[in-house]
A and B are shown apart, each in its own frame.
Chain A
Amino acid sequence: MTLSLYVPGESPLHRLTPGPKLAGLATAGLALVLVDEPAILAGFAALALALLLLSRVPVSQLRGQLTTTAILVALVVAASVWLDGWREAAAAGLRVAALVLLGIVVTATTRVSDLLETLERLLAPLDRIGLVRSADVALAIALVLRFVPEILAESRAIREARAARGMRVGPVALVVPLVVRTLVNADAIAAAIEARGGPRSPAEASHGLQESRKKAVPHEHP
């Protein structure tokens, strides 16, 4: 698994902070689903293509995503021609192409860490009113990134163990041990996080640990 779909670069789009890019993407997304006129949609598709060129991301890096997009657009156009006729098909194809290309451009030119930082800022108001805790979100994301490769390795081991005994690997035989192992892991991981005073540990919840740390510091370093 490659770590992210970000492609490093020096283009103006790479230098732009995530905020304007996300705002632009949201605005364009809304406009694209509201507009039905093929000419305007063609303008958006051309804009998306221009931005892709401006980002100077090598096409070789995007081959997989662009191929999928092309297949998707072809499918949508084919279905739309059959159902509604050429004008609607052109609108649908251009709309899908523009939406997906704009999304690809933003994802390819924005670092995961920058997006996370923006996310944290967006969550801050919710954090203040106690609806979301951004420390939780950060920890949860870190845990997923840490455990996806682990779970993939375990699923490979389970498949190989079954294959070595000449058995077919059905989905139930694969997923049951995978989930059980994961649940057993969860207990150990939760204990480890609490032992280190993680975001949801009882010590942190009562503020006991932070208070005692503050008090302890002057004594440790007089």
Chain B
Amino acid sequence: MACKRAARKPFRMSTRDLVLIALFAAITAAMGLMPPISVGFLPVPITLQTLGVMLAGLMLGPVRGGLALALLVLLVAIGLPVLAGGRGGFGVLLGPTGGFIVGWIVGAFVTGLVAQRTTRVGSWGARDLAFALLACLAGGVVAVYAIGIPWLAVVTGMDLVQAAAGSAVFLPGDAVKAIVAVLVARGVQRAYPMKLR
């Protein structure tokens, strides 16, 4: 397929990239351990952990964002309590919601990929905000659910429609988090512009 953009250089990781990957994994872990926060119109306080998934994609781009979440999943697997409410270990990964956690890796990657292809660095016009929001929804919601829902269905023996219906209760919270992620990314890039990769 012909690509109009200049061929991108293959990803070469620098020390700073490695540090950013680790720090975004740490931010995402910390978001799960903070007390839940009340957001907008939602009746119940929510944890910000999935915000970290969208933010890693938006701020670091597909490769580094995906690696940041892969690192977090690795920490969960080796038994560190880095998920919301201090959960962790193989029990969570193998349980009914394990797919949503493993799906974060793909979620951050997709968010980063869509954002990288559609938004311009440092520009936050209405068009860029809309595309950034689209990126968060595509990665943080569509991609994560696309892995989480079949996993839930397999583990609990439900069919896909039932599993999807059960997961739908988290949609309002995730939609709000997508908006928050875009506002945070804009705020951060105004203070500290950086290039997506």
Contact = CB atoms under 8 A, between A and B. Distances in A.
A104 B174 CA distance: 28
A102 B75 contact: no
Main secondary structure of the interface of B (DSSP, over half): helix
B182 to A, nearest CB: 10
A112 B79 contact: yes
A99 B95 contact: yes
B172 interface: no
Among A106, A108, A179, residue most surrounded by chain B Cβ atoms (within 10 Å):
A179
Interface stretch (B112-120, B121-129, B140-148, B183-191): B183-191
A176 interface: yes
Contact of A84 (B19, B72, B158): B158
Given A5-B79, A68-B87, A171 B39 contact: yes
Contacts of B44: none
Given A152-B30, A183-B194, A172 B82 contact: no
A171 B51 CA distance: 10
Nearest to B39: A171
B18 A200 contact: yes
Q: Which of A79, A112, A175 has the most chain B CB within a 10 Å cutoff?
A: A175
A211 B92 CA distance: 46
Contact of B13 (A6, A141, A182, A200): A200
Contacts of A140: 18, 21-22, 25, 71
Interface of B: 13-27, 29-31, 33-34, 37, 39, 48, 51, 55, 59, 71-72, 74-75, 77-82, 85-96, 154-158, 162, 166, 180, 183-184, 187-188, 191-192, 194
Given A96-B95, A190-B16, 17 more contacts: A69-B95, A80-B156, A99-B94, A100-B91, A103-B92, A115-B77, A139-B22, A140-B18, A140-B22, A140-B71, A144-B26, A147-B23, A182-B27, A183-B188, A190-B14, A190-B19, A194-B15
23 contacts: A4-B78, A4-B80, A5-B79, A65-B89, A68-B87, A72-B95, A79-B156, A96-B95, A96-B155, A103-B95, A107-B90, A108-B79, A112-B78, A115-B77, A116-B78, A137-B71, A170-B37, A172-B184, A175-B55, A186-B19, A186-B20, A193-B18, A194-B15
